[in-house]
Structure formats: structure tokens, C-alpha cells
Structure 1
Amino acid sequence: MFLCRAAAVAVLLLTSLVGTAHASADGPGVSLAVPAYFNPGELWGRLADPGVGIVVANPFSGPGKDVDPTYAKAIADAHAAGITVLGYVATGYLGSTGRATRLGETTPLAWLAQAQQETARWYDLYGSYGLGGVFLDEVQNVCGPANAWSDTYRALDESIKSLHRGAFTVINPGIGTEECYADIADVSLTFEGTYETYRTWQPPAWQRGRDPRRFWHLVHATATREQMAEALSLGRQRGAGYMYITSDVLANPWDTLPDYWQDELDAARPQDTTPPARPGPAVAVRRGPTTLTLVWRPSPGATGYDVHVNGLRVTGTAGRMPSVTLRNLDPDTRHTINVKARDAAGNASAPGVAVPVRTRKPDRDPPATPGDLRAAQVKVAAVRLDWAHAGDATWYDVLMNGQPLLRLPAALLTDDATVPVTGLTPATSYAFTVVARDATGNDSAPAGPLTVTTAVPSGDPISEASGSVTGGEATYQARYNLPFDFHHVYVDADNDAATGFAVASIGADYLIENSWFYQHAGTGWNWTPVDMNPLVSSADDLFVWRVPITGAHRVVFHGSGGSPESYSPVITVS
């Protein structure tokens, strides 16, 4: 009976492939998706429009340590207006370009752990205010050796969606990706650049004909309303279901809204507002303990589908094919599933009939309990955890004070790897447990709890500040003794306090921020990125940077975010 039913569904799938999706007269609909890298207030209020689908919140290049009441209200108001608000999370290209985590590491495991912790903090601070998911920035666009990078991003996406059910995820490589990224995250941001570049840019061939709501384009330096209209038209032709166009320019083109914002809202609205027919009920053609492969009768004109489990949207299809595989489900559990169809204009159908589907029971052999759970390192605001691995584990769950924090693929935990936990409070005790999970969803008995107390800070917030000039380069170093989100070096290259950005009695012509390098432009807080990574190392909180600056000059070190703002004395470098 089951085989006959699956065969009948397969016939329906083949039938769907020979049909064509209808499109509105003005092309696919575009939903505006805005990186709102400006403080809550009047501008955030102007985002509350049906034409806006996504807004990215970014208080401190991440969530910060404490709830900001203004952001909490802005997120709640946007959520009430039907907008999906995403929290900003950096992934550092998984360290492949030399970008280092807060603890100075450049391994995929370290970046995966930091990104998951940032995500957990976003949900801890703003989940109750309507946070809809996360925006994963600094994403690689190539598969990597033996698909290592794309597989790690897939694991990150799966872990976020399993630990935070209903999370909507976006990856931002900023350029077209290889096809190995097609099923990673709900949306891929595949263009981030100027209007002049966008005029001649083309997406990768594999993206053509896919669901437009899988792709997002950001176009800045678009000076006029006419250019904005042209960019929108090009985006429709290139299959972008999400766009944002602004006249703003680098260094931060996302720190305001354009003067033509209302015109952009009007131009993006589709003429076609007729929703597609609702799809048929989902049928499980393959069931596993933690996975379900589903198919359903297609909806004529649909370009994609959203799948809801127990009332939450958990994933979308990669294209028109009415089929999806759900992963990381709880074993031996009844799940209620229905499907909505979307057309090229972005219209959503009524939900299909909800059907109950039960995952299979896991096998009877749970993995071994991870052994020898210990703190390999304890710092002021971070610890490193280590444990003996269970041979049959596919994932490890790390819980902090009884709450899920990390879900790490066992393949990334080599024998000498330790797991960093950052963003902790100094002189505070935390209880950690680790659980191994196998491929069928069995959990081991927990290892722990292990109680760890972070160190007490001592001395100046910033110490050991020094610098030197050798061979056409300046090297700066300082030890940051408190957990700062931002580690700055302000550089007064011309020794003139009247030029550059005024700070701590100097005029900064250059700025180092973590692993980014900027040159001052114009007046006030206005910086242009310099294409290089100045960070040499940050082991044991001793940050070392190297930049192409010569001659005697003055610098001041600065820390902010996560701890009270602090400056070092001004020093002369020669």
C-alpha cells in the first residue's frame, strides 16, 4: 500500500515539472529586506510597511551582553507589523581568510561555536520580543576542500534550526555561491555592491529559475530614483525575491534609509496579489528516527513552498519541486505538518491540510557518555571545554546552566580540539554538561555537570600598550584584560590633532577594529575600509596588529562593548 501511494505521488511530481509558473505582469514580486544598521527610532518606524519582509538588527556587530530596551521595542514593533527581524551574527568565513574569533582562533570549529553562542544570546535577549532568526554574515561562497566549508555552514544552519525551532536563517557571502550552498539557509544574499557593478553583474547559472525568495540582493551607491527603478527591474530579471537599494555609500551604506524610500516601497509592490491554490497534504515517502522526506501535490504557479511543523515554519523548498527532507527531528514523535505555496509575486497560499506524521524509533544502542569533561582553560570571560569523545556520536550538545548552548558536529572535534565558550561574566560560576547524540537521535547519559568559575579581572582594563616601526610597517600590541566586543587602535599618522577623527586628544587618520582596518574620510565617524587584515594574533588577550604605516606617530588603544569603555594612555610609536 505504501509503495503504491509513493508511486502515485511520484507521478504528480513529474506532472508538476512540465507545468510553468505564472508570473505577474511586472515580473516577480520583490520584498524589501533592510540591513537596519542604525539605532532604533524614527527610521525603524518607517520600516513598518507590508512591503518590508526582513530587517536585520545589529546593535554591537552582534547582540551585545544585555537587553537594550530600545532594540527590544523596535524588534517587537517590527514583529507586530509582520516583519521577520534577524539578529546579526558574524561567521568570519570560518577562518579561511585569517579572520579570528574573540579568542584569536581561525578554525571552523571555533567560528561554529562562536556563531552558535551569538545566536543563543540573541534568542536569550530578544527571543521573547519576536526575534525571527539570524543573519549569518561573512560567509564563504565556495564549497572548500571536499566540501568542508559548505558542510560546516550546513551544520551551523541545521544546529540553529534544531536548537531554535522556527528560526529563519540568511547566509551572506555577498557574491554568487557554488551550488553546494543551494540547500543551506532560507535565503542567500548573493550580491552586495554598488549600482554601477550591479548593472553588469549576473548571478551564477545554477540560480536561474529557482524560487526568487531564496535570493537577496543589496545595491548601494544608487544615487537617483531612476537608478533605483532600474536596479529593481534588474533584480526581478535576475530572480531576486528580496532586495534593498540605497543611495548611501561606503564605509557603512546601511546606516540610514534613502531619500527615495517611499518610492522604493511603491516600486517594489507587485501588481499580482492573487495567491496560488493551496498545495496538497504532505505525504512521508521516507521516515527515519530524525528525518522525514515529504512530497505533496503541487500548486499550479508555485515557485516555492514553506513547510510548517507543529505550527512553526521550519524550512522552505530550494525551488519548485514539491518535496523536502526535514532533519534533526525528535525520534518517535508525532509531528503535525502542513505546506504553503508561494508564487513569483510572493503571494502565499492558504495552508494545505495538516497531517500527522511520526518519526521512527531510534535504535536501542545510545552512544557512550563523553568522558573526562574538564575545563582546559579558564579566563575572565571565557572557558575552553574538553572531553573524551564517544566513538558513535554524530553530534555533541553542550548545555550551560541546564540550557542548550551548542550543537556541534562530531566530525569537527579532533582529538586535540577544545570547545571555546565566550561572552561570560567575570568571577561567575557556570555549570556545563555534554551529551553525545548518534545518527538515530539517541542521546547519551550526560557528562557533568562541571562547575567552572571565571577568573577575577585584575590590573588596568588595557595594559602592555606598545608599538614600533620596522621595515615600512608599524606593529601595535596591547593586552585587553576585560571582555570587550570591540578592540580599537586609533592611529594619528600625521601627529596633527586637528585632522582626522578627534579622540583622546589625538586626530585619528586610521582605525583598527578587531581584524578590520579603516582610513578616515570626510568628517566625524566616517571611515573607508582598507583591503587587508591587520590582526596578527590575539592569544591570551594580547592583541598584535601590523599595518603599512611609517614614521613616528601617536596611537591610543580602546575597548568598548561588553565591558565599560576604556582607553589606554596615548603612546608614541617610532
Structure 2
Amino acid sequence: MGGAAGGRRERLTLGVPGCAHPMLAPMEWGELARPGLGALPGPRGRTGPLRWAVLDIAGGPGSRPDPYCAPAACALRASGVAVLGHLDMRDGARTLGDLVSEAHRFLEWYRVDGFYVSRCPSSSALLPETSRAVTTLRALCEAGHIVLSHGTHPHEGYAECGDQLVTFSGSWADYRWSQAEEWTAGHPPERFCHLVHSLPRTHLEEALRIARWQGAGTVCFTDRTRCRGQEPWDALPGYWDELVSRVGPGVSE
């Protein structure tokens, strides 16, 4: 599992790629807004490990403002967690107009702090098109945070587009034998994110070591699985408190 990053030891942060709708998962959204958990300075200047969380109503912003989502997004921002609107590029099949329309709705209805672009293309052929889309999103959301979720290592040029790249999204069975591509060593860990599901609690420390070794600065791990069509990110992991404590400030590494 050797990584090109050489085991850099910077502090890890957490990113949550989306929980179930706030009406269905009020406890999860309440936990994400817990004081002291957010990575952005709060009223007392303290910071926690949770950098961002994704807001996804129906594969995007939905067709009208949702009365449950606006308060949830507001609570997260107040606690120092960046709220990212979920945009689906469908591997380049979406038009720029569709993405811009959804981005406007996210900004108008939920005042998001940036965007999480799922199914982002990875090939060099679609890099110019993706770059134009990201440039447009940045113009709409000044100083917004853009996460490009490829799920695998994309062409190196994508590192010049997004603020963060999701270079791994998959199961623990695949992650434990994964490797970082050499070009990632030329960028700081904060540029990369790993999302791992089906991870047993007993392997949590091992997964954290792999993330650090491969140069990922943001992670999210869960023991939830895709069994029977379930979405593993709909609920927080059973070991959420332990995960927070292991990556939080003051934790010995």
C-alpha cells in the first residue's frame, strides 16, 4: 500500500459526503452541527475536525426550497462547518446550463459555501470542459470551496481545478490495497479526500494510517455498507465519536 506521499503527518480533517434528508435523519444533522465540531473558527475561535458536509435534497437542490434543509444548513454554518451543495456531472453528460441552474438554486435557497461535484470526469479529454464548469461555479460562489469527486485518481490536470479531489471512494476491501499515484506527492494533503465504506471498527486505525501515508488530508470512514442497495453515507458510522476523537485537535498521532 506504499504511497507517493511518503507518510506525511499533517492533521486530518473530516468531510461528510451527505446524510439522509434532515427530516429522516435529524439526529445525524444535529450531531454535525454540534458546537466545537466545525473546522472553521467558531465564536470562541476553537476549531474541530469537521471541514465540510454535503447537502443533497434529490440528487441536487430539488425543485423548490425545502423547509427542513434550510435550518439544517444554517445550523452547520453557525457551528463552523462549510455546507457544500451536491452537483452531479454524470461523468460529463450534464450541460453547463443545468449545473449553473442548480448552483443558483443552492445559493439562493441554502446559502451554500461551495459545491461537491459528484461523478466528475477523470480523463484528460474532458478536463477543459470540467475546468470551464468549475470556473463558472467559482464566479457564482466567491471564495467557495469546490470538491471534485472522481472516486479514483484523475488526470493530474484536475488538481488545478478543484480545491479538493476525491481520489478514492469505495469499500475497505479495495482501500486497504490501494495506492496513491506519484503525481499526488507534488501537492499538499489538504488537496485530497478519501471516502471509505464497509470499514469495521477494528480496522479504523489502519485506515487512518493508509490515508496519512497516501497523502489524504480529508477523510470519511463508515462501517455502513451498500448491502441491499443501501446508501452507506445516509447515516453516520457506529464509531463516529471515536473517529472524531482520533482526528480531532490534541489527539496523539
After TM superposition, the structure 1 = structure 2 runs for residues 164-563 of structure 1, keeping only pairs within 5 Å, are 164-224=141-201, 226-250=202-226, 251=229, 252-271=231-250
In 1, Cα distance between the equivalents of 2:19 and 2:32?
Answer: 13
Per-residue displacement from partner, 1:262-285 (whole Å, max 9, x unpaired)? Answer: 000011125489xxxxxxxxxxxx
Tell whether the 8 Å contact from 2:86 to 2:117 is kept in structure 1 after alignment.
yes
Tell whether the 8 Å contact from 2:194 to 2:211 is kept in structure 1 after alignment.
yes
1:47 and 2:18 correspond: no
In 1, Cα distance between the equivalents of 2:76 and 2:52?
Answer: 9
Tell whether the 8 Å contact from 2:198 to 2:223 is kept in structure 1 after alignment.
yes
Q: Which amino acid aligns with 1:236?
A: R
1:164 deviates by 2.2
1:202 deviates by 0.8
User: Per the alignment, in what secondary structure is the counterpart of residue 234 of structure 2?
Assistant: coil
In 1, Cα distance between the equivalents of 2:169 and 2:251?
Answer: 28
In 1, Cα distance between the equivalents of 2:135 and 2:69?
Answer: 27
Q: Which amino acid aligns with 1:175?
A: T
TM-score, normalisation: structure 1: 0.38
Match of 2:116 among 123, 135, 143: 135
User: Per the alignment, in what secondary structure is the counterpart of residue 182 of structure 1?
Assistant: helix
Q: Which amino acid aligns with 2:156?
A: E
Tell whether the 8 Å contact from 2:14 to 2:51 is kept in structure 1 after alignment.
yes
Per-residue displacement from partner, 1:492-545 (whole Å, max 9, x unpaired)? Answer: xxxxxxxxxxxxxxxxxxxxxxxxxxxxxxxxxxxxxxxxxxxxxxxxxxxxxx
Match of 1:30 among 5, 12, 29: 12
In 1, Cα distance between the equivalents of 2:119 and 2:74?
Answer: 27
Tell whether the 8 Å contact from 1:177 to 1:204 is kept in structure 2 after alignment.
no
In 2, Cα distance between the equivalents of 1:271 and 1:265?
Answer: 11
Q: Which runs of 5+ in 2 are unaligned?
A: 1-6, 38-47
Tell whether the 8 Å contact from 2:245 to 2:251 is kept in structure 1 after alignment.
no
User: Per the alignment, in what secondary structure is the counterpart of residue 20 of structure 2?
Assistant: coil
Q: Which residue of 2 aligns with 1:155?
A: 132
After TM superposition, the structure 1 = structure 2 runs for residues 10-25 of structure 1, keeping only pairs within 5 Å, are none
The list of structure 1 runs, each at least 4 consecutive aligned residues, that deviate by more than 3 angstroms after superposition, is 270-273
1:258 deviates by 1.0
Tell whether the 8 Å contact from 1:209 to 1:239 is kept in structure 2 after alignment.
no
Per-residue displacement from partner, 1:328-370 (whole Å, max 9, x unpaired)? Answer: xxxxxxxxxxxxxxxxx9xxxxxxxxxxxxxxxxxxxxxxxxx
Q: Which residue of 2 aligns with 1:116?
A: 100
User: Per the alignment, in what secondary structure is the counterpart of residue 62 of structure 2?
Assistant: coil
Q: Which amino acid aligns with 1:122?
A: F
1:39 deviates by 2.0
1:180 deviates by 1.4
Q: Which amino acid aligns with 1:31?
A: T
User: Does the C-alpha gap of structure 1 residues 189 and 56 become closer, same or farther in structure 2, counting only changes over 3 Å?
Assistant: same
Per-residue displacement from partner, 1:278-314 (whole Å, max 9, x unpaired)? Answer: xxxxxxxxxxxxxxxxxxxxxxxxxxxxxxxxxxxxx
Per-residue displacement from partner, 1:2-50 (whole Å, max 9, x unpaired)? Answer: xxxxxxxxxxxxxxxxxxxxx99xx221111001231221111111312
Per-residue displacement from partner, 1:161-202 (whole Å, max 9, x unpaired)? Answer: 112212211111110011111211111111001111111101
Q: Which amino acid aligns with 1:133?
A: G
1:216 deviates by 0.5
In 2, Cα distance between the equivalents of 1:36 and 1:136?
Answer: 12
Q: Which runs of 5+ in 1 are unaligned?
A: 1-22, 96-100, 102-110, 274-344, 346-574
In 2, Cα distance between the equivalents of 1:116 and 1:185?
Answer: 16
In 1, Cα distance between the equivalents of 2:72 and 2:250?
Answer: 30
In 1, Cα distance between the equivalents of 2:149 and 2:18?
Answer: 15
**Rg larger for:** 1
Q: Which amino acid aligns with 1:136?
A: V
Tell whether the 8 Å contact from 1:229 to 1:264 is kept in structure 2 after alignment.
no
Tell whether the 8 Å contact from 1:94 to 1:112 is kept in structure 2 after alignment.
no
Q: Which amino acid aligns with 1:259?
A: G
Tell whether the 8 Å contact from 2:49 to 2:249 is kept in structure 1 after alignment.
no
User: Per the alignment, in what secondary structure is the counterpart of residue 176 of structure 1?
Assistant: coil
Q: Which amino acid aligns with 1:207?
A: T
Q: Which residue of 2 aligns with 1:469?
A: none
1:253 deviates by 1.0
Per-residue displacement from partner, 1:109-156 (whole Å, max 9, x unpaired)? Answer: xx22211111111112112xxx11111111111111xxxx11111111
